[in-house]
Amino acid sequence: MAGDLLQRIHSNLSTGSGDWAGVRTEVTGAYASQNGSGINYVYFSNHVIREFNDKITDLNLPTGLYLSPFDAGFRYTGTGDFTNFPA
């Protein structure tokens, strides 16, 4: 499931912040339901959330959409305590 989500993020070129708010909800839900803070943390932080954050920058979307905190490469460095959008 996380792989499918990653692929959809990668191929999504929508510039509507509302569309990405929905994707953000999917990502945070998948993180919670698929043990993103445990055994799947590396996959979520290095791939799914990183790709999501990178897309926010690439598409010049509101920075409140970011899943933070993250490092210089957009890898998530937090523990799953996500802020609400809009921040």
pLDDT (tens digit per residue) in 41-55: 889 999 999 999 999
Please state, in angstroms and rounded to a whole number, the distance separating the CA atoms of residues 53 and 70: 9
| Torsion angle (degrees, nearest 10) of CA 59, 65, 67, 73 | 30
Range of the structural domain that residue 38 is part of: 2-65
Give how many domains the chain has, as a whole number: 1
Instruction: Give a yes or no: residue 71 inside a domain.
Output: no
**Token pair in block for residue 31:** 């993180």
Instruction: Give a yes or no: residue 11 inside a domain.
Output: yes
| Torsion angle (degrees, nearest 10) of CA 46, 77, 79, 44 | -10
Q: Give pLDDT, residue 5.
A: 93
Q: Give pLDDT, residue 2.
A: 77
Instruction: Give a yes or no: residue 84 inside a domain.
Output: no
Share the mean pLDDT of the chain.
Answer: 90
10 Å CB burial of residue 56 (0-12, 13-18, 19+) is buried
Instruction: Give a yes or no: residue 26 inside a domain.
Output: yes
Q: Give pLDDT, residue 83.
A: 80
Q: Can you list the residues of the chain whose pLDDT is less than 50? A: none
Instruction: Give a yes or no: residue 75 inside a domain.
Output: no
